[in-house]
Every structure is written in C-alpha cells, then in structure tokens.
Amino acid sequence: MKAIVTVVGKDRVGIIAGVCTALAEFNVNVLDISQTVMQGYFTMMMAAEVSQCNVPLAELVTRMDEIGRDMGLSIRVQREDIFEAMHRI
C-alpha cells in the first residue's frame, strides 16, 4: 500500500533528514520525493511504501502529525488511493 506524505513549513536545515529518519523508524520506505521552496516556504511530497510499516496506518498518521508539530511543520500522511480516485479515471 502506498501513501503520500506532504510536508509544509518554513525552510530550515534538516527537514528532509528529520522526516526521513522518522519514517525509517516506522519502517516506511520512501519511493519518490519532490520538493520546492517558494518564498521561504518548504513544500515536499513523498510517495512511500507503507505495507511493511510497524504500526497501523491510522497510528502512523497521528504520530507523523505529532512529529511534524515538534519540528514546526505540517506533516500529513494519506493513502494514495484518494488522489488516484479523484484525479484518474
């Protein structure tokens, strides 16, 4: 099962490292990353494989949200299906 991780926040050193480390601890494999920095704001989207995740997906969502708040970021994890359903026929 794939999930999309969206990270938004003020740009600073170590965002990617922090988010990737957290995901690695949950045994989530990052498949693809795209990121931009616009006017000082950092936006990153990652496709991640969550099938081997060591906690239930709903818990991963909550934990990543908490980690994001500690880092001063918004981190959102959502199953990829919702975007596929809405934007692909």
Partner 1 sequence: MLNQKDILATQDMIDKRHLDIRTITMGISLLDCCDPDLKTCCNKIYNKITRCAKDLVRIGEDIEKEFGIPIVNKRISVTPISIVASACEADSYVEIAKTLDAAAKTCGVNFIGGFSALVQKGCTTGDWKLIRSIPEAMAATERVCASVNVGSTKAGINMDAVAEMGRIVKKTAELTAENDGLGCAKVVVFANAVEDNPFMAGAFHGVGEPECVLNVGVSGPGVVYHALQSVKGQPFDVVAETIKKTAFQITRMGQLVGQEASRRLGVPFGIVDLSLAPTPAVGDSVARILEEMGLEVTGTHGTTAALAMLNDAVKKGGVMASNHVGGLSGAFIPVSEDEGMIAAAESGTLCLDKLEAMTCVCSVGLDMIAVPGDTSAATISAIIADEAAIGMVNSKTTAVRIIPAPGKTVGGRVEMGGLLGSAPVMPVHDKSSENFIARGGRIPAPLQSLKN
Residues that bind partner 1 (CB under 8 A): 4, 6, 31-32, 34, 36, 43, 45, 47, 56-58, 61-62, 76-87
* Shorter beta-carbon distance to partner 1: residue 17 or 86: 86
Q: Strands of the chain (E only): list them.
A: 2-10, 29-38, 41-49, 73-79
- Closest distance between partner 1 and the C-beta of residue 72, in Å? 19
* Shorter beta-carbon distance to partner 1: residue 25 or 84: 84
Residue 5 tokens read as 């991780």
Determine how many CB atoms are found less than 10 A away from the CB of residue 56: 9
